Amino acid sequence: MHNFHDAQELTEALRPENPVLLKRPHAARRAARYFIRQFPGKSLYAVKANPAPELLQLLFDEGVTHFDVASIDEVRLVARVLPEAVQCFMHPIKSEAVIREAYHQHGVRVFALDSLEELEKIRRATDEASDLTLCVRIKVPSEFAQISLAAKFGIEADDSVELLQCTRQTADALGICFHVGSQTMTPLAYVHALERVRTAIVNASVTVDIVDVGGGFPSIYPDMVPTSLNHYFHAIDRTFEDLPISYSAELWCEPGRALAAEYNSLVVKVEQRRDNELYINDGAYGTLFDAAHIGWRFPVRMLGENAIAAADTEFGFYGPTCDDMDHMPGPFVLPGTVAAGDYIEIGMLGAYGAAMRTKFNGFGSLDEYEVADEPMASAYVGDNLDLADRQNVVSFPTG
């Protein structure tokens, strides 16, 4: 694969007709090192955010040795790419066949659950194994998250006594896990959730070996600039240390977005302009799923001769399919001179970007190249960042 310094160099050299996914391994490595060094516990990568095999490998190489998987295909993928990795099957509702394959064929020993029915399935599928780590998922609010994950999974802390006690009798190690929602904008979300963990432990009077605070750690997007990740880590650590748990209990987390977001950006070509709507060659059924379906704004910049023009005009994007819903409202701020044939780079698409792609309507072709420049935003750089040298990187302090 030919590598380029940045998107500008790539478009000048190739004039691509397909959308181009740009990969920044250095950005993902930096994110992994940050979590390994700064989070006061064990970090599991949430594979669903971006299952690219090369990303899984580089995260593993940087010390992320545990992976949050949620389907048997993710289990098979990680087993194939990283046979030495520890897999944690954190989806709380699974079929017996899937549990059986994960346990007997792929060595999975960590499973999540949120019901007695699931506990019985795990017992049967593993032949009542004695080497299980079982994490009971409790329900917590998502009030501080941009995307709520409060409705689908989890048992209420006040209702968890029987489940925790029965799981304790089965498990070699008992954990409690939760998810505060995606792109959580304040550390208080984790503090409040951990107080629910406290309630569950006290009510059930069980010894807990693992507390898993899940994902939700934010990245930087337009109008979404959270405080330093270290503030999240400190708040979690203080609350965790005050819980009524075993002195040797482990603290886990499951970052997905926070580890993957800076890994990818996307180069798209403008096929046509109609007033303030740009028709581009990727969209809602491709890498821009979140931009369409939940109105997520991503950072953008012009490439080519118009790159130096002032970004002063708001645009929406239409994707290439025939569906009216293939629309990304933005607004995306670009130079007012943008026209058909121009190229645009859309940043921060390493999480829930390429992972969401489909072949709907015959579209979906994608080229991939590695680039050496910095991502358009970063949670892992310091205050002394030279913005001019780093291609308009937006950052917040990491101290």
Residue the block writes with tokens 């072949």: 359
Q: How far is CA 150 from the centre of its chain?
A: 17
**DSSP3 helix / strand / coil % (the chain, rounded to 5):** 35, 25, 45
**Which are the catalytic amino acids?**
322
Check: CB of residue 354 under 8 Å from CB of residue 326: no
3-state SS, residue 142: coil
Angle between helices 161-170 and 116-125 (to 10 degrees): 10
Residue 215: Cβ-neighbour burial (10 angstroms; 0-12, 13-18, 19+): buried
14 in Cβ contact with 381 (< 8 Å):
no
- What is the Cα–Cα distance from 142 to 236, expressed in whole angstroms? 16
Sign of CA dihedral 144, 148, 151, 152: negative
How buried is residue 294: exposed, middle or buried, by Cβ count under 10 Å (0-12/13-18/19+)?
exposed
Please enumerate in sequence order all residues whose Cβ is within 8 A of that of 157, keeping only pairs 6 or more positions apart, or say none.
138, 139, 196, 197, 199, 200, 203
Helix axis angle, 188-204 to 161-170, nearest 10°: 80
Confirm if 136 and 167 have CB atoms less than 8 A apart.
Answer: yes
Cis preceding linkage at 299, omega within 30? no
